[in-house]
Amino acid sequence: MTTEILDEVFEVIKDRRENPKEESYVSGLLDQGEEAIVEKIREESEELVKAIEEGKKEIVHESADTIFHIMILLASKGVEFEEVMKELEERRKPR
């Protein structure tokens, strides 16, 4: 498995930022602004914590939701997903 799907999803999110579509969830959330995006991340994070007691399937589902909404926040702030990946790579380097 690769991170290719993450790159694909992030490209779609950026496209919705640059070319909003009326029926798009992402475009709508971006249009609502930072506060709405942060609230959605908070909500999804809480659901992820609750999913710990529900089992692996729910943990996977809520993790995907949380990551997705973090990606929307990154795009809204002009942060490339690759920057986050590079930061994670840097953390793996021996000190």
Percent of the chain predicted with pLDDT > 70: 98
Residue 84 is predicted with a pLDDT of 95
Sorted by where each begins, the domain ranges of the chain are 4-92
First to last CA, the chain: 28
pLDDT at residue 2 greater than cutoff 80? no
Say how far apart CA 69 and CA 53 lie, in whole Å. Answer: 22
pLDDT per position as a tens digit, 21-58: 999 999 999 999 999 999 999 999 999 999 999 999 99
pTM for the model: 0.92
Domain 4-92, CATH homologous superfamily name and number: MazG-like (1.10.287.1080)
Instruction: Report residue 1's pLDDT band, with 50, 70 and 90 as the boundaries.
Output: low
48 in Cβ contact with 63 (< 8 Å) = yes
